[in-house]
């Protein structure tokens, strides 16, 4: 099932077949994603694969999309973990700072805790001070990481599944390109 694949590359790509331009047009990008980065990825893949036929062009264009998806999912997963880390910091601060606070001051104290967690996310110096204070109360990096993974587990696994699916799709496409080239290179010459 996990057989190796080989995509020989001593040649340059043939021109894109007529009618394929709509499939290679401007991609759908999410806010914050870079068209230049997408085009650089696409250019690198097209250069590496050097599609030689319409079938190879179709497979390679799909490979570009899956490769972009992998990068997108990695970034989104990282952002998810950052968000949940801030939430874990806030929860730990609540456990420390809100003990013994009279109920009439709880709203202000909760707001301040949220502000402190936001400072942690935005200011590296504040982050060091907050993490040191949390560590002194038993909330070390491992405890915070555990909290992050417990809170984010369902979404984290969703991103892991998306990543694995896209990566498997890329492997399948690379194998298909390799098989297509092997069949094409070993077929009898037509006259």
Residue-wise pLDDT tens digits, 51-61 = 999 999 999 99
* Per-residue model confidence (pLDDT) at position 115: 92
Number of Cβ atoms within 10 Å of the Cβ of 73: 20
Virtual CA dihedral for 106, 110, 116, 118, nearest 10 degrees?
A: -170
Q: What does the pLDDT look like over 60-78, one tens digit per residue?
A: 999 999 999 999 999 999 9
Name the burial class of residue 152, with classes exposed (0-12), middle (13-18) and buried (19+) by CB atoms within 10 angstroms of its CB. buried
Pairwise CA distance, residues 41 & 55, whole Å:
20
Task: Please check the confidence at residue 153 and state whether its pLDDT lies above 60.
Answer: yes
Q: With CA atoms as reference, report the closest residue to 46 among 28, 22, 62, 69.
A: 62
């Amino acid at each position: 099932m996990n057989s190796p694949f080989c995509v020989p590359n001593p040649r340059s790509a043939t021109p894109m077949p007529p009618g394929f331009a709509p499939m290679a047009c401007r991609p759908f990008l999410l806010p914050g994603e870079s068209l230049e980065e997408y085009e650089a990825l696409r250019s690198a893949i097209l250069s590496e694969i050097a599609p030689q036929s319409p079938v190879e062009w179709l497979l390679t264009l799909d490979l570009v999309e899956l490769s972009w998806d992998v990068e997108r999912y990695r970034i989104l997963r990282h952002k998810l973990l950052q968000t949940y880390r801030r939430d874990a910091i806030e929860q730990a601060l609540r456990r420390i700072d809100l003990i013994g606070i009279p109920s009439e001051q709880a709203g202000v104290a909760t707001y301040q805790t949220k502000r402190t967690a936001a400072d942690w996310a935005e200011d590296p110096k504040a982050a060091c001070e907050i993490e040191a204070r949390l560590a002194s109360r038993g909330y070390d990096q491992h405890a915070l990481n555990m909290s992050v993974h417990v809170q984010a587990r369902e979404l984290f696994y969703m991103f892991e599944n998306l990543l694995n699916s896209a990566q498997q799709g890329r492997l399948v496409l690379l194998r298909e390109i390799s098989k297509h080239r092997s069949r094409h290179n070993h077929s009898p010459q037509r006259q």
